[in-house]
Structure 1
Amino acid sequence: MKVVIIGAGPSGLVVCKTLLQEFSEEYPFDPIILEAEDDIGGTFQYRGYENASLVSSKQITSFSDFRLPLDHPDHLTLPEYIKYLRDYARHFKLDDRIRLGCRVTRIRRDPTGGHVVEFVESKVSPQAQTIHADFIAVCSGLHVIPSTPDIPGIENVLHPKISPADGITPQVYHSSAYKARAQLANRRVMILGTGETGHDLAYEAAKAGATEVTLCTRGGFLSFPKVLNDFQLLGFKFEGNLPIDGLITNLFETTYVHPWVAKLHLRWFVSDFVIKRVLWFLTGTQAGCNQWVGELDSERLGRAYVFLNKSNKAMPYINRSYRKRPKFMEYISRYIDPPEDSPPVTNFSVELAPFPTQFLPSGQAVFPVTHRKESKRIQGMTIKPQTVIYATGYTQNFDFFDSEGHYPTLNDIDVRNVFKQGDESIGFIGFVRPGVGAIPPISEMQAMFWTAIITSKIPVPTSLPHYHLLVKETARIKYGVDHSSYMSTLAKDMGAAPDLWKLWQEHGAKVLICYCFGAAFTPFYRLQPPYQTPSAPQIVKAEIWETIARRGIFGNLFMAIIPMAGYAIVNLLALVLEGIWIVAGKALEK
């Protein structure tokens, strides 16, 4: 059974490995990865930049059966992660399955069944080659095709009415073309977009010696550090060094959740309510962790709506003109800015602004007047950037699919964001983005789920999903999911979500505690069939136990036991109300 996998990033690699391990006489999978670039790694390899590191922790990001050493730092640099992917490919003998420099140009349906894949191998011949495939795994990634919204007059930045006398050549480019700080030195820099890349670039510009940095936001952001650390309470400093993506617990949030609670997303709203008030007490603001400007509108502020921005190194520069907190509160509790900027090296500020509506012939940016704090402040400034960077994300385009083949698009994928019902031979792996978490482990779960479907191990699920982030129909990005809810849903579909009683019986109390107190770590879902692996219990007892124990007694009390107790009460109330509803319904029938 030939399987063509498009893309040799993390998603493509884990799909290939999963298929090879499921090889049998009944399903003799023969996967091949076609990668357009000259090396593996995808976005991490080709759209990375100097000083970039993962904002997701190694505990979440690593594949379930290929872990990093316990003493390795929690967050990898991009070169370290690319090396990890190479080691993964070598360990599972995937290298011979990868064909580099092969760009897929067309996929059409074969009248006799399956698909015909046409591709061009750039270093061999411009002539298209073909492969007949029984299955297609699209793993080309969310972050490949730059998205650059049109701003009237942007050409005036490159060709202002009055030529600059400083000899600096103006530039306009997408963040995918940014590679090093040297590109930002001694320039007036404007960055469009306040996602993690935008914040990274604002920080890099400040450190590069940019003369001016303006960071433009569409509608705000939710800032949170990737590591929960450096809080001071009543003079005592908390240095837990806890990755934020590993703090969401399983018990009563992803497992043993009443259907009503899941459908109404009550656990998200409960956690948002608590977190906002804890943030106010610790940092003085509910907008984010020590975030004093750029707050989201109240109806979008919370984990149910947006992707957390875990790149917070630029926040000291962004906050500088806005931070106001009573001194007496600073004696009670305070958040200490990231160590490399504590104390800040200079008095340099990154100015936050709305997206410009246009650029005048002089190259000056024009900003809209809104109710937001950053809008009011920027109106009194003259901003003429010499470098404009679109940190505006990416779009997806599957133009290699033949239009007559009625192939699905991302909007058509109605079964767990992986395939279209009735067209299981085409899987889309890695095309959801978690609010907090990472795409690679989601891709691994999707790979196992899709493989279980096409090998008839499990039926196509029909239950309604409750893992999507809550967005309006007009939202630009609709592929956001809650990491824990999504992982748990796929695990339940496969029968891989552990039962607590069986977990204790088969693996003991230590594994049971880790599962209850831990986040949706992928090894949890390999403790039992259909993808059980002997290494999973040891990984849980060692690496995940260390992650949970690192919180300490008080950390586990406030971050695990109390939240779990709160969720337990919510689920219990739902169960009681359901019982009353059933009894009342039977009484009315009589």
Structure 2
Amino acid sequence: MNGQDQRLDVGIIGGGCSGLVTLKELVDEGHRCRVFEKSNVLGGLYTQAYQQGVFVSSHLLTMFSDFVGKDVDILEKPRMLSFIEYAQYLNDYADHFQLKEFIQLETEVKSLWKDFSDQKWKVRLTDDTQIYSFDRIAICCGVFGNISLPTFQNQDLFQGKIKHMKHIQRYEEFQDKHICIVGSGESASDMILAAAQFGQKAYLSIRKDHGFIVPRYIHGDRFGPADLDTSRIHHSIPRAWGVLHTAIDMFNSLIKSYLNCLFYQKGRSTDYDVVRRAGIYMNLKQIRTSNVWTTYGTKNSNIVEALVKYKHKCQRKPGIKQLKAHSVVFEDNTEEYVDEIVCCTGFKTSFPFIEQSEDADDTLKRYFTEAKISHNLYKHCFHPDLGDEVAWIGFARPALGAIPPLMELQARWFALLCSKKLTLPSKAEMNEKICKYVKYLEWQLTPYRVNRLTNLTDYLIYSDDLARTIGCRPNFTRIFFSEPKLWMKLMCGPLLNAQYRLIGPHAKAKQAKDVILKAKWVKQPNILYFCMLTCYAFFYLVFRIESCKPASWYPL
């Protein structure tokens, strides 16, 4: 840390999850902030998505490091929150840290530019009533604002409807229809099951491999969310051994499923058991091209349930070749009658307050166009030509894990940069590190996925990288000798962001320890991961086999 603390005026565009946590961290550092939120409520995307939507990460992984929420039992009885519940959590967060006084609702930013006469960033609102002036800007509008719809051959001939999943509010809209769902992510998983349940026929169109399928819950909802084994010991398994790790993990799950059936269910398999095993076999079928470390996670087994439980009226299909008046022709040349096509094809990043601005110059517009490719920003946050004057918060998506904890670490970093307690590397150094980072991502996640999903990253490696930068990554060796119980929970318990409040700026050690020690954890899979990691570490430390180097033990 160097330099003197300074207090800045910071403008935050967006009052959703990333905007709130950025505001909170900046206020903690003493900066003067104003949030511009175009909707009339806090919560961003989660107030607009389909009403039956449920998270695919448990609240243990999703919650911020220093606010559990009002559900006092959720640490010991973790579950996935609904979108409505999470929107309420964000409101409670804003109340708890007294953030609402800094937020202007129903306020849309029309234009953003830099005035070089006073070196300030200017914000003009859509009503043109006032121009605001800031020292720094945080872009927190998220990646979910603008839908990404594919274009199909002969689309103009199709007489049915083509929708984006964002337009679906209730599953009952599929009643008695022939539905084609495009995509294989978590939203597509929800949509195909709803289409199978409510529709007459349902087709799931997937171009290549599906994501790595993980159920929301390990055994139904009896033993807690599946991401309880998203532990440090698990995510330290070397990425080079993804095929072997996936095979061991999947066969372990299969064996447990059959033993559970044999000893606790009198040899009878439940519907959940059948679906779980089918999902495991689907993962194993594509293990060479898409394993647990090389693709994004589909943390939602509804896709499997739809194909297994409703196989009489739900089918998997390849990509769409062309459309006809009332039917879809797939790449295998099969043709099916379809009333509606629902595209779960994600969103595209856009910054209309720059792109449509009459005030911003061409150079600034170019910088923001380049920023749409998130991994070309320094640590997904900073454009090398703009330095720390503009931060993009919330534009990194972990392949496995939750997005809000990454937002919080980004926000903490930005707040410290604003206070001059930290500094960015030079432009040349940032560009060099960006190139190395993208090459690493292409090695782990394949060039196809990295170039298609430019915000994709590795959950633990990226989190630890930011924590090292901030100075809040715990010293696990010291904790092993001084507090072995805490060490065990840190290594084998779920990856709570509270671990990054044990030390460093704005640490809340006692609160963090209480949360970590109280949180539920699962033992059997982590014993397996511990044995695997011990073997890898031995071959790396003794024989210096680079492919056995544990992930996240060392800086990226």
**TM > 0.5 between the two?**
yes
Question: Which residue is 1:42 aligned to?
Answer: 44
Question: Which residue is 1:563 aligned to?
Answer: 532
SS at match of 1:143: coil
> For residues 41 and 65 of structure 1, what CA distance do their matches in structure 2 show?
18
**Distance change (3 Å), C-alpha of 1:574 and 1:200:** farther
Question: Which residue is 1:489 aligned to?
Answer: 465
Contact 1:253–1:567 (Cα < 8 Å) also in 2: no
Of 481, 484, 496, 1:521 maps to 496
Q: Does 1:271 align with 2:241?
A: no
Write the deviation string for residues 311-369 of structure 1: whole angstroms up to 9, x where unpaired. Answer: 212413313xxxxxxxxxxxxxxxxxxxxxxxx5x664311111211112x32211113
Question: Which residue is 1:173 aligned to?
Answer: 163
> For residues 311 and 242 of structure 2, what CA distance do their matches in structure 1 show?
38
Correspondences of 1:569-588 after superposition (within 5 Å): 569-573=538-542, 575=544
**Match for 1:181: what amino acid?**
Y
Of 78, 84, 102, 2:89 maps to 84
Contact 1:487–1:520 (Cα < 8 Å) also in 2: no
Correspondences of 1:157-556 after superposition (within 5 Å): 157-158=158-159, 170-208=160-198, 210-221=199-210, 222-229=212-219, 241-251=223-233, 254=236, 265-266=239-240, 268=242, 271-278=245-252, 290-291=278-279, 299-319=288-308, 344=309, 348-360=312-324, 362-369=325-332, 379=333, 382-401=335-354, 402-406=360-364, 407-408=367-368, 409-411=371-373, 413-422=376-385, 423-460=387-424, 465=437, 470-472=445-447, 475-504=451-480, 508-533=483-508, 534-543=510-519, 547-548=520-521, 551-552=522-523, 554-556=524-526
User: TM-score by structure 2 length?
Assistant: 0.82
Write the deviation string for residues 520-548 of structure 1: whole angstroms up to 9, x where unpaired. Answer: 321111100123114112111222xxx22
SS at match of 1:214: strand
User: TM-score by structure 1 length?
Assistant: 0.77
Question: Which residue is 1:101 aligned to?
Answer: 106
> For residues 246 and 452 of structure 1, what CA distance do their matches in structure 2 show?
31
Q: In the TM superposition, what is the alpha-carbon distance from 1:436 to its structure 2 partner?
A: 1.1
Write the deviation string for residues 86-126 of structure 1: whole angstroms up to 9, x where unpaired. Answer: 10011111111111111112111111212111122xxxxx3
Of 112, 123, 126, 1:117 maps to 123
Question: Which residue is 1:54 aligned to?
Answer: 55
Contact 2:540–2:546 (Cα < 8 Å) also in 1: no
Q: In the TM superposition, what is the alpha-carbon distance from 1:277 to its structure 2 partner?
A: 4.2
**Greater shift after overlay, 527-536 or 179-188?**
527-536
Question: Which residue is 1:136 aligned to?
Answer: 137
SS at match of 1:16: helix
Question: Which residue is 2:3 aligned to?
Answer: none
Q: In the TM superposition, what is the alpha-carbon distance from 1:179 to its structure 2 partner?
A: 0.5
**Match for 2:57: what amino acid?**
S
Q: In the TM superposition, what is the alpha-carbon distance from 1:294 to its structure 2 partner?
A: 8.9
> For residues 575 and 415 of structure 1, what CA distance do their matches in structure 2 show?
30
> For residues 230 and 536 of structure 2, what CA distance do their matches in structure 1 show?
12
> For residues 267 and 567 of structure 1, what CA distance do their matches in structure 2 show?
9
The structure with the largest helix share of the pair is: 2
Structure 2, unpaired ranges of 5+: 1-7, 259-274, 355-359, 548-556
Q: In the TM superposition, what is the alpha-carbon distance from 1:248 to its structure 2 partner?
A: 3.3
> For residues 479 and 556 of structure 1, what CA distance do their matches in structure 2 show?
29
**Match for 1:88: what amino acid?**
Y
Write the deviation string for residues 263-317 of structure 1: whole angstroms up to 9, x where unpaired. Answer: xx33645533433444565679xx9962356987555311332211112124133
**Match for 1:271: what amino acid?**
H
What RMSD in Å do the two structures reach over aligned CA positions? Answer: 2.9
Write the deviation string for residues 371-417 of structure 1: whole angstroms up to 9, x where unpaired. Answer: xxxxxxxx55x411111111111100123222434334133743211
**Match for 2:226: what amino acid?**
I
> For residues 133 and 285 of structure 2, what CA distance do their matches in structure 1 show?
49
**Distance change (3 Å), C-alpha of 1:141 and 1:570:** farther
Contact 1:108–1:405 (Cα < 8 Å) also in 2: no
Q: In the TM superposition, what is the alpha-carbon distance from 1:82 to its structure 2 partner?
A: 0.7
> For residues 42 and 418 of structure 1, what CA distance do their matches in structure 2 show?
20
**Distance change (3 Å), C-alpha of 1:349 and 1:567:** farther
**Match for 1:542: what amino acid?**
K
**Distance change (3 Å), C-alpha of 1:249 and 1:570:** farther
Q: In the TM superposition, what is the alpha-carbon distance from 1:246 to its structure 2 partner?
A: 3.2
> For residues 546 and 14 of structure 2, what CA distance do their matches in structure 1 show?
49
SS at match of 1:569: helix
SS at match of 2:230: coil
Q: In the TM superposition, what is the alpha-carbon distance from 1:11 to its structure 2 partner?
A: 0.5
Contact 2:215–2:276 (Cα < 8 Å) also in 1: no
Question: Which residue is 1:326 aligned to?
Answer: none
Q: In the TM superposition, what is the alpha-carbon distance from 1:224 to its structure 2 partner?
A: 1.6
Write the deviation string for residues 44-76 of structure 1: whole angstroms up to 9, x where unpaired. Answer: 111x11321000111100011110435234110
**Distance change (3 Å), C-alpha of 1:19 and 1:215:** same
SS at match of 1:127: coil
Rg larger in structure: 1
**Match for 1:497: what amino acid?**
R
Q: Does 1:20 align with 2:21?
A: no
Contact 1:223–1:288 (Cα < 8 Å) also in 2: no
**Count of paired positions:** 494
Of 4, 11, 17, 1:10 maps to 17
**Distance change (3 Å), C-alpha of 1:178 and 1:509:** same
Q: In the TM superposition, what is the alpha-carbon distance from 1:467 to its structure 2 partner?
A: 6.2
> For residues 407 and 161 of structure 2, what CA distance do their matches in structure 1 show?
36
